[in-house]
Amino acid sequence: MMNRSLDVIVIGGGPAGLAAAISAAGLGLRVAVADCAQPPIDKACGEGLMPDSLGALAELGISLDGCDTGWFRGIRFIGREGAVEADFTCGAGLGIRRTLLHGLMAERAASLGVRLLWGTRVSNVKKGQVEVNGETLHCRWIVGADGQNSQVRTWAGLTSGRDYERRIGLRQHFQIQPWSEFVEIYWGENRQAYVTPVGSQEICVALISRHRFQSFEASLAHFPELWARLESVPRSTPVKGAMTITRRLSSVIRDNIVLIGEASGSADAITGEGLAISFRQASALGQALAAGDLSLYAAAHRDIAGLPHLLGRSMLLMDKHSWVRSRALRAFARRPSLFARLLAVHVGALSWKGFGISGILNLGWRLLTA
């Protein structure tokens, strides 16, 4: 492998890296993926794929047909002020264990001829050169997909940017039949709990907070209705944690090095759009690599990341300020159609232009009078 020339080497074999490899290989490029881990690669996340995520995944040639997945038709917000729910207008969403999704993506990459170098140490990156297990590999393009703490980003000198938020997330799975056809988001003081069906007899519960957790159980007890359902339910996995960061970088390309996924910036997990962002970025990156012009990807990257960052920072206001959260939940409960239209914007079924100035003014008025 080391003696062969490559068009693209992707450093990082998570979903973002595999998506980039699939996109590039599908356009005829010779691609390898290097990662120090062994598959399947897991990560603490909510494990829900909204309709836009499924559409982007399908464009990469990956189908979830026949897999043990959960199904949900929309999103439900639950707080002390009440509850509000809305259906997706562009199809249903699916919940899938991260390890299962990773396995499917690795299989797709291998079927396209991508060389998967698991358990591989990448020690340095230069223009046109990557040191892999102590040997120098020459390639035309280098893709950094190595996550929030990206070493490729540091090597390339692409660290300039801004971090807006850092929060802690914990995840655990429970052996119980899903009780809802929605992804349920429970709002508490400075924390949220997400419940996603990921199988016919399993749910994923993710907790997110800006403060350190005493324990998963202690934090879950802050949501009495949810705790009452789950206190005695068997756990199917141990607790797993991760940091969720809102980050914008000044640039995601330098020479022949390009960043994708959380290595290239990220929105808070509250948006549920992390995978969808990566899949869209991968499609844009594949086109740019095939055209030999990374500036095409840089422009697409800005557009792809814009809306999730805006919505994420707006939702974080509900986390930071109890009066914003209370007014928003009351306003949505009184006007469910407003919540439905915002959800449509969130999943790309309705543009901000379609939402309209009247919609924004209506939302502002409802928040003021809630």
| Tens digit of each residue's pLDDT (9 = 90 or more) over 135-160 | 888 899 999 999 999 999 999 999 99
Report which DSSP code applies to 211: S
Distances (CA, A) of 200 to 159, 177, 227, 290: 42, 6, 21, 41
204 within some domain: no
pTM of the model: 0.91
One domain for residues 293 and 342: no
pLDDT in tens, 29-59: 999 999 999 999 999 888 999 998 999 999 9
One domain for residues 254 and 363: no
Going by pLDDT thresholds of 50, 70 and 90, the confidence category of residue 4 is low
- Lay out the sheet containing 93-95: strands in order across: 48-49, 93-95, 70-72
168 within some domain: no
Residue with tokens 């924004």: 360
Rounded CA-CA distance 54/285 in Å is 18
Q: What is the CATH number of the domain that holds 277?
A: 3.50.50.60
Residue 349: the pLDDT is 65
pLDDT in tens, 203-249: 999 999 988 888 999 999 999 999 999 999 999 999 999 999 889 99
84 within some domain: no
One domain for residues 129 and 50: yes
One domain for residues 255 and 279: yes
Q: What integer is the mean pLDDT of 184-211?
A: 94
Domain count, the chain: 2
Residue 362: the pLDDT is 52
* pLDDT at position 368 over 50: no
Structure tokens at 162: 């801004």
127 within some domain: yes
Distances (CA, A) of 11 to 24, 34, 106, 117: 14, 5, 14, 10
Using the 3D structure, point to which of 281, 298, 314 is the last residue of a domain.
314
Structure tokens at 81: 């002020």
Residue 202: the pLDDT is 97
106 within some domain: yes
Going by pLDDT thresholds of 50, 70 and 90, the confidence category of residue 83 is very high
Q: What is the CA radius of gyration of the chain?
A: 21
Residue 333 neighbours by CB distance under 10 Å: 17
3-state secondary structure of 85: strand
Using CB atoms within 10 Å of the CB of residue 302, give its burial: 0 to 12 exposed, 13 to 18 middle, 19+ buried. exposed
One domain for residues 257 and 365: no
Going by pLDDT thresholds of 50, 70 and 90, the confidence category of residue 352 is low
365 within some domain: yes
One domain for residues 264 and 156: yes
One domain for residues 364 and 264: no
Domain carrying residue 128: 6-66+97-163+248-314
342 within some domain: yes
Which of 5-19, 170-184, 254-268, 349-363 is the least confident region? 349-363
One domain for residues 38 and 119: yes
* pLDDT at position 2 over 90: no
What DSSP line would sit under 230-297, residue for residue?
HTTSPBSS--EEEEEEEEEES-SEETTEEE-GGGG-B--GGGS-HHHHHHHHHHHHHHHHHHT-HHHH
One domain for residues 252 and 348: no
174 within some domain: no
One domain for residues 56 and 125: yes
Residue 361: the pLDDT is 44
Using the 3D structure, point to which of 314, 338, 354 is the last residue of a domain.
314
Using the 3D structure, point to which of 314, 333, 358 is the last residue of a domain.
314
Going by pLDDT thresholds of 50, 70 and 90, the confidence category of residue 124 is confident
One domain for residues 21 and 110: yes
Going by pLDDT thresholds of 50, 70 and 90, the confidence category of residue 201 is very high
Q: Kindly give, in sequence order, each residue whose CB lies less than 8 Å from that of residue 367, ignoring residues fewer than 6 positions away.
A: 324, 327, 328, 331
Q: Peptide bond preceding 40: is omega within 30 degrees of 0, i.e. cis?
A: yes
One domain for residues 121 and 50: yes
